[in-house]
Amino acid sequence: MKLLFTKNYCYLTLCLVLFLSGCTLPKPIKGAVVSAREEASAIGVAIMKQGGTAFDAMIATDLALTVCYPNAGNISGGGFFMYRTAAGEVGSLDYREKAPLGASSDMYLDKEGNIVPNKSTLGGLAVGVPGTVAGLVAIHKKFGTLAWEDLVQPAIDLAREGYLVTEKQQRSFESKKETFIALNGPDTLYAQGFQAGDRVQNTALAETLERIAMFGKAGFYEGPVADDLVERVRETGGIITHEDLLAYEPVWRDPINFQYKELNIYSMGPPSSGGICLGQILKMIEPYDVGQYEHNSVEAMQVIVEAERRSYADRSLYLGDPDFIQIPKDSLLDVDYLNERMNSFTFEKATKSTDIAPGTIQWEESEETTHYSIVDPMGNAVAVTTTLNGSYGSKVFVEKGGYFLNNEMDDFSSKPGVPNMFGLIGGKANAIAPQKRMLSAMTPTLVERNGKLAMVVGTPGGSTIITSVLQTILNVYEFEMDVQSAVSAARFHHQWLPDVVVFEPGRFDPALIKSLQDKDYNIKEEYSRIIGRVDAIQISDSGEITTGADPRGDDTAVPLF
C-alpha cells in the first residue's frame, strides 16, 4: 500500500542519511505494551525484558491496571482475551462475569413490573460473579512461561509503594466522591478525594494480590478474600454466594473470523457482540471502497453510519450468551444478507432507523472499560479488553480487599423491550438468567495481512467500542494513516437507536455537519460520552512495530528495544 511504500522509503532515506553522517541507526522496537496507564505498560515491558512472553506480560499489565486504574482495571470484573501465537494460532478466552445462581429475569423490577432505578447499577445487587482472576489463571496455565507469583509481584509492589494520581484521575475521583461516601463511608480509601500528584497506597489490595500470588484462583474465589467479597455484596443488597464463586469457570471460545479486502480479521465472539458487529459493518462497507473518499468526508461517513445502523439493529435482536441462546452467526455474516441490508441505502438521504427494523429494541452499555495491546519479540500478540462496566463498577468498595466490585448485571436487559433508567432497551436474547453471561460490546481484535500479524487493537467505550475499532482499522488501511494518527483522529458513532450520529465535539467541520443534516441525519455534537480510547499496535509487512496510544486518556505506549 501507499503508506507502506512511503514508510519504507522514509526509513531507507533515514538509514542513508545516518550512514553518511556516521550516526547509528535508531534501535528497532522488538515489542510493546500499550495500555491506559504508563505504570502498567512499563510493568508489562519489564516482564518481557526478563524473558517473559506477551502472555506473561498480559497478566502483569492487567493486575497493575487493577492497582493504578481502579475505575476499570480489575480483579473483580471480567473481560475477553484474544491471542495470536508466533506460530499463527489464534484463539480467545471469555472470562466475562456471570449472573449469580440466585438471579432472575425480573430481579430489577418492582411489583408492577417496572424497572427500579439504580438497582442494576449501584450497590451489591448490580454485581456479576467476577471472572478476571479465573481468566488470568487459565491464561497462565495455557501460555505462562514465568512463575505465576513473579507476574503478580509487580502489582503487589505498585499497590504497596503507591501510584501517582493524574489530573484526569483527580477529575474522575471528584465526580464519584459523593457516591463513594454514600455507599462505602467517608473513611474508605477512595472516599478521600485524591488530588493530582498524590500517591495512592493500597495495602489491602496488596494483601489480596498476595493471596492471589500464593493460591492462584483459590486465592480469590475461596478463603478470606471470597469471604470478604460475599459479605460486602450481601451487606450492600446483593446475592452472590460462595457457591457462585466456586462455580465460576472461564471458557475458551473460537474467535469470529472474516475477511475485509486483503485483511484477515479475528475478533471476539459472543457473549461479546464485538466480532460479529465489526464483521457485519466492514462487510457492508467493503463494496463501497470507502478509501476512494476523503477521511471523514460526507460520503465516507454516510457509508459507515448506514452500515453501523443496520448492524446494531441486528445486535439487539440476535445476540446474547451462546451457552443460552442460538446465535445465527453465519447468517449474520453472510455477504448476500449484508449486501441486501445495504440495498435501502442511498447517498441522497439518511435511512431512518425505524425503517431498518420495526419495534423499539435498543441497547447500550456503559463507558468505563479498558483495553491493552501487547506484542513480544517472539511474535506473540495479545489484545485484551476488561471491565467493571460502569466507572468503578457498582461503586461498592471492598475495603478489606482494596478493590471495587463490578456492576456488569446492567449489561443484561433488565426488562426486554422497555427502557432502563438510562433510556436503554434490550432484547429477549439478553434477558437475565442464573449463570448466564451478559451481552458485551468489547472488541479486542487482531488483524492479519499477507498471512502475518498486522495490527492489535481494541478500546473501551461501551457501545462505541465497535465503531471506534472499526474507524481505527479503516483509518490505517483505507485512509493510509500511521497507527498513532489513526488512533488520535476524530471519531463519530451511530448505533441504530437513538437515531443520531454522535460526533466528538468541536472536531468536525461545521460545513460537513451541515451537509449531513441536509441529508436528514440527526447530529449530536455536544459532549455526552466518550467515543473510545483506542490502544493499538501496528506491524508492517517488514516487521516494523509502531504504536498508537489514545491521547483522550492517560494511555501510554511503552516500547521494548
Report the catalytic residues.
369
The C-alpha cell at 246 is 466456586
**Choice between 123 and 154, CB closer to ligand GLY:** 123
Residue whose cell numbers read 479475528: 266
Rounded alpha-carbon distances, angstroms, from residue 547 to 363, 540, 554: 32, 11, 15
Alpha-carbon distance 132 to 165, whole Å? 24
**Choice between 92 and 389, CB closer to ligand GLY:** 389
Alpha-carbon distance 57 to 501, whole Å? 38
Shortest distance, CB of residue 271 to ligand GLY, whole angstroms?
Answer: 9
Shortest distance, CB of residue 186 to ligand GLY, whole angstroms?
Answer: 29
- Selected from 327, 374, 441, 447, the binder of ligand GLY by CB under 6 A is 441
Mark the segment that binds ligand GLY (CB under 6 A) among 315-323, 435-443, 468-476, 483-491: 435-443
Shortest distance, CB of residue 467 to ligand GLY, whole angstroms?
Answer: 13
Q: Does 387 bind ligand GLY (CB under 6 A)?
A: yes
Q: Does 411 bind ligand GLY (CB under 6 A)?
A: yes
- Selected from 442, 474, 476, 560, the binder of ligand GLY by CB under 6 A is 442
DSSP 197: T
Alpha-carbon distance 417 to 436, whole Å? 19
Q: Does 207 bind ligand GLY (CB under 6 A)?
A: no
Rounded alpha-carbon distances, angstroms, from residue 490 to 165, 277, 472: 27, 21, 10
Give yes or no for a contact between 461 and 472, defined as CB atoms under 8 angstroms apart.
no
Q: Does 554 bind ligand GLY (CB under 6 A)?
A: no
**Choice between 441 and 537, CB closer to ligand GLY:** 441
Burial of 111 (C-beta count, 10 Å sphere; 0-12/13-18/19+): exposed
Q: Does 72 bind ligand GLY (CB under 6 A)?
A: no
**Choice between 409 and 483, CB closer to ligand GLY:** 409
Alpha-carbon distance 486 to 338, whole Å? 26
Residue whose cell numbers read 477521511: 295
Q: Does 462 bind ligand GLY (CB under 6 A)?
A: yes
Q: Does 440 bind ligand GLY (CB under 6 A)?
A: yes
- Selected from 74, 132, 369, 414, the binder of ligand GLY by CB under 6 A is 369
Rounded alpha-carbon distances, angstroms, from residue 210 to 148, 149, 205, 396: 11, 8, 8, 22
Q: Does 475 bind ligand GLY (CB under 6 A)?
A: no
Shortest distance, CB of residue 129 to ligand GLY, whole angstroms?
Answer: 15
Alpha-carbon distance 339 to 455, whole Å? 27
Mark the segment that binds ligand GLY (CB under 6 A) among 142-150, 281-289, 438-446, 522-530: 438-446
Distance, first Cα to last Cα, the chain: 26
Shortest distance, CB of residue 445 to ligand GLY, whole angstroms?
Answer: 14
Alpha-carbon distance 464 to 44, whole Å? 27
Give yes or no for a contact between 138 and 354, defined as CB atoms under 8 angstroms apart.
no
**Choice between 77 and 154, CB closer to ligand GLY:** 77
Q: How many residues bind ligand GLY (CB under 6 A)?
A: 10
Shortest distance, CB of residue 173 to ligand GLY, whole angstroms?
Answer: 21
Shortest distance, CB of residue 377 to ligand GLY, whole angstroms?
Answer: 31
Mark the segment that binds ligand GLY (CB under 6 A) among 136-144, 147-155, 199-207, 434-442: 434-442
Which residue lies nearest ligand GLY, judged by its C-beta? 440
Alpha-carbon distance 180 to 175, whole Å? 10
**Choice between 169 and 389, CB closer to ligand GLY:** 389
The C-alpha cell at 400 is 478489606
**Choice between 351 and 440, CB closer to ligand GLY:** 440
Shortest distance, CB of residue 441 to ligand GLY, whole angstroms?
Answer: 4
Q: Does 389 bind ligand GLY (CB under 6 A)?
A: yes
**Choice between 44 and 462, CB closer to ligand GLY:** 462
Q: What is the 3-state secondary structure (H, E, C) of 108-153?
A: CECCCCCECCCCCCCCHHHCCECCHHHHHHHHHHHHCCCCHHHHHH
Binding residues for ligand GLY (CB under 6 A)? 365-366, 369, 387, 389, 411, 440-442, 462
